[in-house]
Copies of this chain bind each other. A is one copy, B any other.
Amino acid sequence: MNTTLPAKHVFPALQQKIKGHNLIWLDSASTTLKPQPVIDAVYQYYAQCSANVHRSVHTPGEEATAAYEGSRETARQFLHAKSTTEIIFTAGTTDGINLLATSLSRGMLQAGDAILITQLEHHANIVPWQMLRDHHGIELRVAPISDKGDIDLEAFQAMLTPNVKLVAFSALSNAIGTVLPIKEMIQMAHRIGAWTLIDAAQAVATMPMDVQELDCDFLVCSGHKMFGPTGIGILYGRETLLEKLPPARTGGDMIKSVTFEKTTFNDLPAKFEAGTPNIAGAIGLAAAINFLATVPFHDIQKHESALVASAQEKLAEIPGLRFIGTPRQQMAIVSFLIDNVHPHDAGSLFDDDGIAIRAGHHCAQPLMQHFQVPATIRLSFSLYNEENDIIKVVDSMKRIIEVFA
């Protein structure tokens, strides 16, 4: 569809046969496949350098440190952060939110303060705040969404009372593909002096995220959802805030000096990275970012939008099919239900045709409750999908419907 897109053979997982069929991966919102350069970068680290970082004077250690800190610089450029001190490596989005929640709970938020989220958040952006509610007396508010799956900006505005200290929301819903007006929402939050956290887990592989342009205070994402390794993620934080925040986890590397009486913490970003980090993960993540840099986001979006539009058009013709979420702006993800076919049964039968879709609540149960459905069938697209994938999905869907007719 677009010549700047990488060739499919860059993704070795697409070479595999599932039940005799070429794999069609429509589950990128769960985790993306990995391109060869990422796989190779991880391999190289283990095979060659494989030293620990930060505290060595030997060559392998200096190389590992240079590679690890170089990955931080790559991540900084990717998110357009001002400084590498603002880039904390985490184990993933969930880990980043938990880290932030723990740190905030250590004196930055008080009982009576409120946190505002939205109704379409992933559990990762709900449950850690419930913990602050239950253990620290923080109020948790939820901005509603419309029947179509769009954020209700008026209600959101109304909930932004002065005691709201943090507003946390997804840039892109992993369950129904809603693109949120995050820039507007950040501005609204800032008007009352609240901090903003963007859950960019789904967004980063599809939309450019420029933390300075967005002017957000925090942003989290996962390597494995952006063509990178598992066990690695990024927490971006505005330097002035990170300076004030107390560390969340402690141990080696994040300290300046330790006596049994008193410990002095290290400077940013080390202050937030305790212990031996996921060195291979960071290096693989940098390779993923470099890979992403070879495809303009504009082309990714054009490609994915075309796939979403095509899927919507073709699926709409299937009798008994109902879309869940039809927001104003939808990206990369299409969720639906079919009369008399439970999503899980559909999922098993899609697999017979080598088609990997997701059936479930997509870790967004409150959103499912909003739509009053227990689960959906979700197709999620990435740059390695093509028009033909959708044709196969529709064919397969018809066959599945017949099974349960």
Contacts and interface: CB of A to CB of B under 8 A. Distances in A.
Contacts of A366: 258-260
B51 A30 contact: yes
B128 A360 contact: no
Contacts of A135: 106
A58 B98 contact: no
Interface stretch (A34-42, A184-192, A290-298, A306-314): A34-42
Interface string A358-369: 111001011001
A404 interface: no
Interface stretch (A119-127, A149-157, A328-336): A119-127
A403 interface: no
Contacts of A357: 58
A31 B58 contact: no
A48 B276 contact: no
A171 interface: no
Contacts of A18: 58-60
A151 to B, nearest CB: 16
Interface in A132-152: 135, 140, 142
A361 to B, nearest CB: 9
Interface string A1-37: 0000000000011001011000101010011011000
A277 B359 CA distance: 20
Contacts of A130: 250, 260, 263
A213 B14 CA distance: 46
Contacts of A49: 13
Interface residues of A, number: 90
A61 B95 CA distance: 22
B231 A281 contact: yes
A275 interface: yes
B12 A48 contact: yes
A12 B369 CA distance: 52
A257 to B, nearest CB: 6
B60 A128 contact: no
A95 B275 contact: yes
Interface stretch (A73-81, A234-242, A345-353): A345-353
Contacts of A200: none
A356 interface: yes
Contact of A252 (B50, B94, B356): B94
Contact of A58 (B123, B251, B350): B350
Given A50-B34, A251-B124, A274 B39 contact: no
A97 interface: yes
Point out which of A58, A277, A278 has the most chain B C-beta atoms below 10 A from its C-beta.
Answer: A58
B31 A365 contact: no
Nearest to A247: B131
A139 to B, nearest CB: 12
A278 B13 CA distance: 18
A124 B56 contact: no
A93 interface: yes
B127 A58 contact: no
A224 interface: yes
A117 B358 CA distance: 47
A305 interface: no
Interface of A: 12-13, 16, 18-19, 23, 25, 27, 30-31, 33-34, 38-39, 42-43, 46-52, 55-61, 91-95, 97-98, 102, 106, 122-124, 126-128, 130-131, 135, 140, 142, 222, 224, 229-232, 249-253, 255, 257-260, 263, 274-281, 344, 347-348, 350-351, 355-360, 363, 365-366, 369
List 6 A-B pairs, minimum CB-CB distance, nearest first: A94-B275, A231-B278, A94-B251, A124-B251, A57-B347, A127-B250
